[in-house]
Amino acid sequence: LEDGQSIRKISKTRRIERMSLGRRLAGIPTRTESDENRQLLSHAQEKELKDWILEMQDCGFPCPPQIIRFMAAEI
């Protein structure tokens, strides 16, 4: 904390929810960060898969679910 200021004061001046600031200071991850641990693909891998699908569509090739699952397993 800045110069011994309270979480409440900092949250007001920075316009951050007090509970959110408290959780971050306690080391509790954001919902997005904790959700990523339960996903099969990371956000970077999802982006890579999405880019591949869009590239295939631009070339006129359909991407059936079986192929997408195969590519997801290969990433």
Q: Based on the domain organization, do 17 and 33 belong to the same domain?
A: yes
Structural domain count of the chain: 2
Q: Are 7 and 21 in contact (CB under 8 A)?
A: yes
Q: Based on the domain organization, do 31 and 63 belong to the same domain?
A: no
CA distances from 17 to 11, 13, 32 (A): 6, 11, 17
How confident is the model over 50-64, as pLDDT tens digits? 999 999 999 999 999
Q: Based on the domain organization, do 5 and 32 belong to the same domain?
A: yes
Q: Which value, in Å, is the radius of gyration of the alpha carbons in the chain? A: 20
Q: Based on the domain organization, do 33 and 44 belong to the same domain?
A: no
pTM above 0.85, yes or no: no
Segments forming the whole domain that contains residue 29: 1-38
Q: Based on the domain organization, do 26 and 47 belong to the same domain?
A: no
Q: Based on the domain organization, do 4 and 27 belong to the same domain?
A: yes
Mean pLDDT of 6-30: 88
